[in-house]
Chain A
Amino acid sequence: MVGNNISRWTMTYFAMALAWLFVALVLMMAGVGYPAAGIASSDTLVLVHAVCIGWLSLAMCGALFQFVPVLVAAPLFSENWALPALGLLSAGLISLLAGFLSLGGRLPPALWLLPLGAVLLVAGFSLVVVDLGLTASLRPTGPARFVLAGLASLCATFVFGAIFAFALAGWTGPVGGFILASGVPLHAIAGLGGWLTLTAMGVSYRLLAMFMLAPDVDDRQSRMTLATGAFAVGLTVAGGSLAIWLASGLNVVLSIAAVFGLASVGLYGRDIAGIFRARKRRHLELNMRMATLSFVGLAAMAVLGIALAATDMFAAHVGAFAFLAVFGWLSGLVLAKLYKIVAFLTWLETYGPVMGRTPTPRVQDLVAEGRATKWFVLYYAAVWSGTLMLLAGEPHLFRAAAAAMTVGVVGIVREVIRIRRLADVASPLRLPGGAIAPHLLFARA
């Protein structure tokens, strides 16, 4: 940690994550993968893994390297592991995606790329899990417990993923093929529901309380939210694996898990509403207002899931449901918080060392909320439109929504780069004597 406060590589993770988000958006605009192709097609696998590993997981890892030490008030177990982990994850993802392209015939046959990618990803994620897990376990209370549950889910996710990759390459025999044929929902739920959602919930408790000056959520209250969510994921992974072993089908297990998952979302909504009600800062900054829209996305996802299940149409529209989960809930929250985290860390890195020696600007002087608002609004409007287009079976209009999302994300990223470059800070406060301008892609030592 730089000055024991700032993770050196968080910005690097964010930059790489945003690059993968652009890859995914370009694929969607170009009509590669679902809905133009089948949901289980190799093109869709490329798209899904670019989003879930490249964008969301890297952004989450970058945020966790900064905020797990804050959650437990202790330094990261090893700052030195963050960059090698990023290298392994990036190389693994490229190899995996190349393997999927090979599987779909877009590249010459080279299915060995799939297990190679899996091994690299398992190695990279293992470094992340050990580093963050050993740090979070120093004080496993409140939000840190969510992170630990998220990391356990990540392990389940990459174990399933590695089995699938080896099975697709034909290296596992019939057992791997059998697990691959039924286990995809377990892999997806452990990843999206366990790793990404439980972790996002935990981090959001701390970030919301910290930036709105609200008391932390009561530990017993958040423990109940976590228990129901972790039970849903645990039941999916353990019960689902048993059901696959017994060849008894996944419907019962997934139905029970869905009930607990919904209960966890409801309890999380109660907790977040409590933080907003108890906040001491009445004015909501842009990142909070936009995070609120991601909570609306989470609630809409729950309502959509119930409606689709009640009308027996969940399987037909699982793509729209997953799209809303990934872009309405998770990506919306990550973009909103990234906007704030970059400003906050940039301030600490640039002005923290000169505090007391010279006047410094505020964090809010680094951002131009009025300009950024329209890009966030465009992004959310495009995501909701895209969800409706998927439900309506309109792939061409979905591509138009993806184009609008891209415009929104380009606008947000431009604002983030301006923050990093201190472009909106007026002189003479911009770089007072002794202050050093931050590097765009990492925190200076």
Chain B
Amino acid sequence: MTGELEGRIRDALRVVIDPELGENIVDLGFIYDISVGDGAVHITMTATTPGCPATSFLREGVENAAARVPGVESVEVTMTFDPLWTPSLIEPAIRASLGFAAVN
């Protein structure tokens, strides 16, 4: 049940995109962890660059998207830059389409 809710939350988060890269934050690897317990959801996420003005909007977007999933009663989102995001976290097919260097 918890795993199924986590899956639905993960799907819901695909509506949130990184405005610069133009892909959803799940496939970009921004979501580090989703933990669910009794309807309370805690999401740990990152962004490409610390201090980017889009960071708080991404955080709020994740909160909004997760809160709309049936069965979710509360959402807490933690933004972290440890570890730092790298393009290696992107889904391979999307990484290629975004033109990231293979070495990165």
Contacts and interface: CB of A to CB of B under 8 A. Distances in A.
B19 A351 contact: yes
Interface residues of B, number: 33
B87 A213 contact: yes
Contacts, number: 92
A353 interface: yes
Contacts of A345: 53
Contact of A70 (B21, B51, B86, B101): B51
Contact of A355 (B48, B61, B66, B99): B61
Interface stretch (A22-30, A288-296, A357-365): A357-365
B15 A359 contact: yes
A363 B60 contact: no
B64 A281 contact: no
A73 B53 CA distance: 9
Given A348-B19, A355-B58, A355-B64, A70 B99 contact: no
A356 B50 contact: no
B16 interface: yes
Interface residues of A, number: 33
A210 B21 CA distance: 12
A364 B22 contact: yes
Nearest to A278: B104
Given A347-B19, A357-B61, 19 more contacts: A3-B57, A5-B56, A70-B52, A71-B51, A209-B49, A210-B51, A210-B52, A280-B87, A344-B20, A348-B19, A351-B19, A352-B57, A352-B60, A355-B61, A356-B15, A356-B60, A357-B68, A360-B17, A362-B22
Interface of A: 3-6, 66, 70-71, 73, 209-211, 213, 280-283, 344-345, 347-348, 351-353, 355-360, 362-365
In the complex, the 6 A-B pairs of residues with the closest C-beta atoms, listed nearest first: A355-B61, A356-B64, A362-B22, A356-B61, A352-B57, A356-B65
